Amino acid sequence: MPAGAVRSGWRGKLRAVADLIRLPKQYGTLLLAAPALWSLMIAAHGRPPIWLLSVFITGAFVMRSAGCALNDLADRNFDRHVERTKDRPLASGRLTPGEALAVGAILSTVALGLALTLNPLALALSVGGFAVAALYPLTKRVVSAPQAVMGTAFGWGALLAWAAVRNDLAPPAVVIFVATICWAAAYDTIYALLDRDDDLKIGVRSSAILFGRHAWLGVGALLTLALLGLIVLGLIVPLGLVYAGTLTIVALIFTYQTWVLRGSPDRSTTFRLFQSHVGVGLLILFGITIDLTLR
């Protein structure tokens, strides 16, 4: 085989791997990192060790990437029939299941290496978090609201981060965990609206299908519960006026999103609503960090 063809083949594989782990689309990493960083900041009184920050930021990227590989392995036969996902590397044949499994195994090994730098409680929690993340793709076949399972996986980092700092679990971490389940279930329901018609045809379950024409109401209820959890967090830590101000902005964003969803927005608007939750997560992190720093 000519050297040029070999190089072209490797470049194609590398591009396919980048697409598999959603390398150009890092909003998932930021959404996964946000609750863990909220918890890390509070547990460390706003001054977490640099090495722990590095572990959790790197871990969010690695775990989200591994999750994408496992998700695409589980969904490869479904993805071929969904407009948004039909060009994914496994669905389109650019990667084989064995290649995707190898990528997932490498990333999981890196994640384990990061977890081994933590204390025994945090290490044990990391094993549980990985199990939830690995099971999530399979729940789309049997659970009417798999978005709640995904929310559990995304919120698990809050428990893990707290344990990594304090070597225990406490109410603030649990409140962040529960609030994140509601928050993530809400924004992932918005994301699921993009695929609702295709999912109905192929038999994949989602909260977007469960809520039906009342999806806006379901999302609004979940966002309200998330906001209430964040208010409770501010009271029990306690956090101050900066955090209260950020929650006021978050409340306005959530209200606006619910109102827009009630009008059955087009796909591009729906996707922008989903993406905006990255900003919500960072805004909350800003409020927490500034309030703790000003103490």
Cβ neighbours, 10 Å, residue 291: 23
Q: Do the domain assignments include residue 206?
A: yes
Averaged pLDDT for residues 175-180: 98
pLDDT > 70? residue 6: no
Q: Do the domain assignments include residue 241?
A: yes
CATH number at residue 257: 1.10.357.140
Q: Do the domain assignments include residue 190?
A: yes
Q: Do the domain assignments include residue 247?
A: yes
Write down the pLDDT at residue 220. 98
Write the burial class of residue 68 (CB in 10 Å: 0-12 exposed, 13-18 middle, 19+ buried): buried
Write down the pLDDT at residue 78. 86
Q: What residue type is assigned to position 255 of the chain?
A: T
pLDDT > 50? residue 3: no
* Dihedral over alpha carbons 87, 91, 92, 97 (to 10 degrees): 130
Q: Do the domain assignments include residue 154?
A: yes
Query: Which residues, in sequence order, are CB contacts of 101 under 8 Å at separation 6+?
Result: 69, 73
pLDDT > 60? residue 4: no
Q: Do the domain assignments include residue 30?
A: yes
pLDDT > 90? residue 72: yes
Confidence of residue 1 (pLDDT cuts 50, 70, 90): very low
Write down the pLDDT at residue 118. 98
Given a contact cutoff of 8 angstroms between Cβ atoms, the answer to whether 160 and 32 are in contact is no
Q: Do the domain assignments include residue 2?
A: no
> Containing domain of residue 19, as a range?
7-293
Cβ neighbours, 10 Å, residue 222: 28
Instruction: Output the 3-class SS for the chain.
Output: CCHHHHHHHHHHHHHHHHHHCCCCCCHHHHHHHHHHHHHHHHHCCCCCCHHHHHHHHHHHHHHHHHHHHHHHHHHHHHHCCCCCCCCCHHHHCCCCHHHHHHHHHHHHHHHHHHHCCCCHHHHHHHHHHHHHHHHHHHHCCCCCCHHHHHHHHHHHHHHHHHHHHHCCCCHHHHHHHHHHHHHHHHHHHHHHHHHHHHHHHHCCCCHHHHHHHHHHHHHHHHHHHHHHHHHHHHHHCCCCHHHHHHHHHHHHHHHHHHHHHHCCCCHHHHHHHHHHHHHHHHHHHHHHHHHHHCC
Confidence of residue 8 (pLDDT cuts 50, 70, 90): low
List pLDDT tens digits, range 115-165: 999 999 999 999 999 999 999 988 988 899 999 999 999 999 999 999 999
Percent over 90 (pLDDT), the chain: 87
**Which of 227, 287, 215, 232 lies closest to 255, judged by CA?**
227
Write down the pLDDT at residue 10. 83
Confidence of residue 61 (pLDDT cuts 50, 70, 90): very high
Please tell me the pTM assigned to this model.
0.95
Least confident of 26-40, 94-108, 195-209: 195-209
Percent over 70 (pLDDT), the chain: 97
Per the structure, the count of domains in the chain is 1
Q: Do the domain assignments include residue 1?
A: no
